[in-house]
Amino acid sequence: MAANQKITKNSVQRFYTNFFNKQEVSHADDLIAENYIQHNPNVPQGRAGLIAAFQEKFSSQEYFQLAIDHILLADDYVAVFLRSVTEQGCTKAHVVDLYRVENNQFVEHWDYFDKRGS
């Protein structure tokens, strides 16, 4: 994403599709700031930490797929409501990712997991 391009629902959707579902971690380079602040204690700080954590997860051979239900954009924040799903499309967990945006990149991240499924 070019520095002057604004974050849109489509750019967020593309990021989730490419980074998480297609497991193409190079897609973090455009949307995730290098000094990304991560509030999930299981994921290291920075863009490099995010990439390393998910490269490890992707190499585990465990099926990993996210289905986005809603994307909300408000001022300097993006909220993504999604589900982690099985190969059959059944919900394993509901997740909310909240990002703070600066200079058209995600600079800070919080998340919430509800593993009750549906």
**Model confidence over 11-63: pLDDT tens digits?**
999 999 999 999 999 999 989 999 999 999 999 999 999 999 999 999 988 89
Tracing tokens 């990021």 back to the chain, one arrives at 15
Average pLDDT of span 63-86: 96
DSSP category for residue 27? G
CA distances from residue 61 to 55, 56, 93, 96, 101 in whole angstroms, order as listed: 11, 10, 18, 24, 32
Domain ranges of the chain: 9-114
CA dihedral 82, 85, 91, 97 (to 10 degrees): -20
Q: Is there a contact between 99 and 108 (Cβ–Cβ < 8 Å)?
A: yes
Does CATH place domain 9-114 in 3.40.50.720? no
